[in-house]
Structure formats: C-alpha cells, structure tokens
Amino acid sequence: MYLIVNIIGLVVFLSLGVLFSKNRQQIKWKSVGIMVVFNLVLAWFLTSFPIGRSIVAGASAGFNQLVQVAYQGIAFALADWVDVKSMNFVTSSLLPILMIIPLFDILTYVGILPWIIKWIGRGLSKLTGQPKFESFFAVEMMFLGNTEALAVSSLQLQQMKAERNLTLAMMSMSCVTASIIGAYTSLMPGQFILTAIPINVINAIIITNMLNPVTVTPEEDTIATMTGSGSSASAQDVGSGSETLAEATIAEDEVPTREPFFSFLGDSILNAGKLVLIITANVIAFVALAALVDKLLGIINPWLTLEHILGIVMFPFAWLTGLNVHDAFEFAQYMGTKLVTNEFVVMGKVTGTINQFAPHYKAVLTVFLTSFANFSTVGMIIGCFKGLVNRQKNDVVAKNVGYLLLSGILVSLVSAATVGLFVW
C-alpha cells in the first residue's frame, strides 16, 4: 500500500509543477520524460544494486576520511574540543569546512574542478535536451553552492535574458556545496546524502523546466566563461566538439592577472572561516527565534508550536512519500522546520536517532534535507543577483520569490519520493 502511495505522491509532486507553470504550452515534455526516467533508473541503480551501493558507500567513506583528516588540524589548535566523548555540533560538523573548502578551491585554481563541471554539464545537456548553460549550471552549483556558482557565472547572467536568470535562481534553491558534504555525512546516513545530490541536479532541471519554461534559440545557447583565473572571457559552444569565441570579449587591458596561489589560498581559508561563522550564527539565531515563537504561541495554547503548525500544513505532502501516519506527521514537522530554519537544525535534532528509523523513512528524510531550500536561501539568492545583474533582471527574480520557494520544495519532495521508491 505504502509503495502505491509513494508512486501517487511522485505523480502529484510532478503535477504541481505543471499546475503552477508560467506557460504549460512551452514545457518540453519529451525532455521532462527522459529526465524522469533517467532519475528513476539512477535512483534504482544507486540504492538497489551492489555496485551502486558500493559507489555511494565508497564516496561516503571518502568524505568521512576528509573529515577525519580535518579533525587533526582542529585538534592541533583545539584539542579539548576534539578529544572528548561527544564533540559539539560546531566542532564535528562545521570546523572541518576550514580544510574542505580550500581543498575544493585549490582544485578550481588548478583547473581540475572546472574541467569536471564542463564535461559533466556537456553530457547532461545532450541527455536532457536542455540549454547548455542550464545543464552546466546544474552541475556547477552541485560542487560550488548557489551564491558561489552564481558569482562565477556573472558574465553569463549579464548576457542572458531575465527569464533564464529566473530559471537559474530557481535551480539555486536546490543545490548543495561539495565542500559541505562532509558535514552532512557526519550527521546523516552518507549513502542517502550522496544519492540525493545527483538526483537533485536532474530534478532541479525538471521542475524549473515545468515552472518556468523558456525558449532558447541556438544563438543564445552558449556558455560564457572567464577562462583561467580571469585571463580571458569567451562564450563556449559546449554542444559541439569545439569551442568558439563569442564576438564580445573583454579587452586585453581590462583582463585581470592571475592571483598568486598563496594569496588565493589565504582568501579561501578566510572565506571558509566566514562560512563557519555564518552557519553557526544562523543555526543559533533560527533555533532561538523558533523557540521564541513557540513561547509566544504557548501563551495562546500549550499545544501550539511552530513544528505542530507546520506539521499540519506539510502533513499531506509527507504522507504522499509513502510513510505511515505517525512517521508522516513527524516528517512534516521536520520539513517545516527545515524550510523556516535550515537543514542543519533538523540534522542536529535527528543525528542521534536516525539510524533507528525505518529504512524508507530514513531515506526520504535524508534526501529531503539534502539541499539549501529554505527561506534564508531566498534572501541570499536575491542579494547575489542584485550585485551581479542590472535592476530589470534583478526585479524579475525578486518578484518571483514564491516560485523560488515552490521550486526548492518541489525538487526536495520529488527527490525524496524518487529515492523512497527503492528503499523499504
């Protein structure tokens, strides 16, 4: 019975994308069908076959090893934070970011990560039939995160029409950052975290194609990149076998020089430190504010809490992922908490008990949490666009806050329902 409900739920979640579409006539149904089938096969492979499970288990172990190496650096400076029976949230999950972000930045500096992103994006474009940059961006944000991927795509954003900018903003709601995966896997089942990441990439393309279908001409379907570390600017036709320069390029005297490596590394470490402080501040502030709201609601009725209210609102969607009523109500509260605060707040609540959950519940909860889809992310995205594009394009994004939230929620629900089909 619950499997049938899960299947119905997946259909309902996808149907909501059609229902709220800005232009149903322009939806590329063939492309959507191909991506849905591909995602189902991918989820089946990663969760149901020994080789698929071995791949995600190996990747999870790799990230956990990175975290263990990071602990050595933390222990050197803060031994009494590491050599304890139970490390606190900041030490166990956030301080490893100080090593992992610079590692990924080094891979970017030497050109390895951009090369991986480009070729995966190229293959994804051919598979999905979607515009080249949208496919490129889907992979890019998986490694770099939303604001980082948008920042390095500023040249492209300035050249693209406003409707495509909105598509990228909506996709940005469903990303994660590769450098933070180690923090996730230290709190939640790593195999489902790593399964969710590629599933989210495809679903972000599916949902945005439904909600905001945009016609892109061959002339518009190019990728503008800043090669090297600012050595030149060009538009690359990643759909063909060669790369062609666009007519408009940055003049020689306007091209910045490549930043020295150790200066670049120093900036990366400082940015990692800022990110740790930002996440810590957000978690503390949001948990405290949620507690304050609960206190105020308790004056009206002791039963009234933010989690109970959100649990009621989100319950139908939670139940449609194939859970029993008790688990669905609890899941709905976690869903609402994640949207109001962030995924780390919920992960911190369940990390000690999640391995006791039923396999299906464990899978759908972990997959749903594996994204940055929440209210605070909307503000980050709008703020990022404001600094990257002109006012007219930024206004298009700012006027569609509801679509940004809807996109993030639907991608998380579709991903959870997709993976949940194969885990019982």
Helices (H), 173-219: 181-187, 190-211
Integer CA distances (angstroms), 333 to 99, 306, 346, 382, in order: 33, 8, 10, 27
Higher pLDDT, 262 or 259: 262
- Contact of 17 with 410, CB cutoff 8 Å: yes
| Identity of residue 157 | L
Confidence of residue 249 (pLDDT cuts 50, 70, 90): very low
- The pLDDT confidence band at residue 41, using thresholds 50, 70 and 90, is very high
Percentage with pLDDT > 70 across the chain: 85
pLDDT at 151: 66
**Cβ atoms of 347 and 150 closer than 8 Å:** no
Over residues 327-352, the pLDDT tens digits come to: 999 999 999 888 877 888 899 889 88
Average pLDDT, the chain: 81
> pLDDT at residue 223 above 70?
no
- pLDDT, tens digit, for every residue of 162-176? 899 999 999 988 877
Q: Which of 401, 423, 16 is nearest to 203 (CA)?
A: 16
Among candidates 415, 421, 423, which has minimal Cα distance to 335?
415
Helices vs. strands in the chain: H and E counts, helices first: 21, 2
The answer to whether the CB of 202 falls within 8 A of the CB of 129 is no
Q: Are 191 and 259 in contact (CB under 8 A)?
A: no
Q: Identify whether the C-beta of residue 157 lies closer than 8 Å to the C-beta of residue 150.
A: yes
What pLDDT is attached to residue 418? Answer: 96
Longest dimension (CA), the chain: 67
Query: Band of the pLDDT at 58, cuts 50, 70, 90?
Result: confident
What is the arithmetic mean of pLDDT over 139-145? 70
Please check whether residue 134 is in contact with residue 369, taking contact to mean a CB–CB distance below 8 angstroms: no
Q: How confident is the model at residue 97 (pLDDT cuts 50, 70, 90)?
A: confident
Please check the confidence at residue 5 and state whether its pLDDT lies above 70.
Answer: yes
Q: Which residues contact 34 (CB under 8 A, 6 or more apart)?
A: 127, 128, 129
Say if residue 257's pLDDT is above 70: no
